[in-house]
Amino acid sequence: MVRIKTVRKAVIPVAGNGTRFLPATKAMPKEMLTIVDRPVVQYALDEAREAGIEHVVFVTSRNKQVIEDHFDDTPELVASLEKSGKDDKVSELSELLPAAGSVSFTRQQAPLGLGHAVWCARDLIGDEPFALLLPDMISFGARGCMAGLMELYGEVGGNVVGVEQCAPEEASQYGIVGRGAAVRHGFAVTHMVEKPKAGEAPSNLFLNGRYILQPEVFGHLARQKRGAGNEIQLTDSMLKLSETQPFHAHPYEGRTYDCGSKHGFIEANVAFALARPDIGAAVYESLRDMVLSHEGRIRAA
């Protein structure tokens, strides 16, 4: 019986330029844009920790130092909060702070795509399976998507991806998987197609930015030729890996918001705000009034 290796490490790529959010991202990384009162990247780290990940590798680039600072201690701020009697804020900051030595940072010197960003983490991951969380994709539900992937991985090993359903007519916008035999926490993946042509998608199940991959993917990434957008595409190397290793998928029961788009970013802010016991009711009232006041104009448009 083959022993399933424990997934201890995760990669979170944060090297993108965030051009879709200019001018907001001219001097601030897109990963530091906030969903209510936490930066986008914090949600990815929290989800990884919830799933039992022990060490997170951030793949950064130039002008991303503020991300590293965000996950560092701030003794001056803590002292100021303590002096002001804001012990609740001190506790909150303490809970968000990663344990010493549990995060690492490495740089992607050139914008060569997601596949290249993952490859840049190879020496910090080593010969181990690892989780991959795309921080733009934020899980919203009773728990994060990665926890479900870890359960499925513990059952079947190999490689695991997170998926969700989209409208069939929207399948051409995503990476889509084919559905095979069912297992307890998901199903076998028969094939993967990146943005299939209209009417040619094998299902309406799209990749939602959560993965558990075996270290052999690094070898494929090292040899991978540039693909779409003249970048090294992770999906291309996953397809190569699938020729020799099984892939399974976990359908996420919550919802993933694509915070790499303005629409998804705003949706995420609304969803998380409404779920907050401290502000949810007030936000709901404001949104209801705004929708009613704009309804006629929006319908006319």
Give the Cα separation of 267 and 261 in Å (integer): 10
pLDDT band at 210 (very low <50, low <70, confident <90, very high): very high
**264 CB neighbour count, 10 Å cutoff:** 16
Percentage above 70 pLDDT, the chain: 96
Decide: helix, strand or coil at residue 261: coil
Closest CA to 90 of 100, 80, 99: 80
Residue 73 has pLDDT above 80, yes or no: yes
- From the centroid of its chain, how far is CA 151? 18
- From the centroid of its chain, how far is CA 200? 27
**232 CB neighbour count, 10 Å cutoff:** 21
**pLDDT tens profile 130-170:** 999 999 999 999 999 999 999 999 999 999 999 999 988 88
Decide: helix, strand or coil at residue 57: strand
**Region 171-199: what's the mean pLDDT?**
88
Closest CA to 51 of 171, 122, 154: 154
> Would you state the pLDDT for residue 200?
78
**Region 207-212: what's the mean pLDDT?**
96
Strands 130-133 and 175-183: unpaired
